[in-house]
Amino acid sequence: MNIFRLLFELFLLYLLYKLVFRFIIPVYQTTKIMKQKMNKMQEDINRSRPQPQPEPPKSKDIEGEYIDYEEIR
């Protein structure tokens, strides 16, 4: 009986090994690489956009003369 239990445990360890090294680690690495590429792409997009220039403050002085409004009948 003990030999079957040992074989079963070895088989489970083998399956766990395959799961970790053929699925979990590659998915983790791929996710990490994609996140880095997305961040780089976002930075490139932000750099390529022209930054809005702040408008110069408008002067409160009105050029020309003031004309009164007259009601016309």
Is residue 52 a part of any domain in this protein? no
Residue 13: predicted pLDDT: 97
Q: What is the pLDDT of residues 8-31, one digit of tens each?
A: 999 999 999 999 999 999 999 999
- Tell me the C-alpha distance between 12 and 4, whole Å: 12
Is residue 71 a part of any domain in this protein? no
Residue 20: predicted pLDDT: 94
- What are the φ/ψ torsions at residue 13 (nearest 5 degrees)? -65, -40
Is residue 60 a part of any domain in this protein? no
Is residue 62 a part of any domain in this protein? no
Q: Whole-structure pTM over 0.85, yes or no?
A: no
Q: What is the pLDDT of residues 38-71, one digit of tens each?
A: 999 999 999 888 777 777 766 665 566 666 777 6
Residue 61: predicted pLDDT: 57
Domain range enclosing 4 = 1-46
Is residue 34 a part of any domain in this protein? yes
